Amino acid sequence: MEDTRNLVDEYKGLSNEQVFEALDKKRNPLEIAIENVEHDFNIGTIIRSANSFNVKKVHIIGKRKYNRRGAMCTDKYLEIVHHPTIDDFLATQKGRELVAIENNTPRAKPLNDKKFSRDTTLIFGSENNGITKELLEKADDVRFIESFGSTRSVNVGVAAGIAMYEYAREIIL
């Protein structure tokens, strides 16, 4: 029977659990945090990108429900943890550099000159209001993605993919 899942050939024919275990053996240390993203399809998009970059873990802070269709079943292949509060999330982040991707604050610097720590957690917030002030204050660094057109930002799902790539380019590749 043909395996029609969106998997690279190496994982075709394996059960979801076997794919998870195989990926777990070579995960990179990057973690992703998503805080109160309103459009749940964007959460699914971020999870799909997180799988593509084989991140260690995805944290969802606040709202738990998301559109699994946007994740294209990739949520089966990585660890996703729900944190009802910011404090609950922060308790899991000891020794990690928290990098907020946020363009709506004077504290933000361009992503293109970021020197990542190996143990980084990238934080993404809602499309309308960004990352909450409470969590932004806890971030070790705040970065924005440069824009060259008329809009001041890209979609949060796109921003997550760009930021994960920048981390991977520096730390993994």
DSSP code at position 126 = B
Helix (H, G, I), strand (E, B) or coil at 122: strand
Region 112-137 average pLDDT: 94
pLDDT, tens digit, for every residue of 47-87?
Answer: 999 999 999 999 999 876 655 555 567 788 999 999 999 99
Torsion angles phi and psi, residue 142, rounded to 5: -130, 130
More reliable by pLDDT, 42 or 66: 42
CATH 3.90.550.10 describes domain 14-172: no
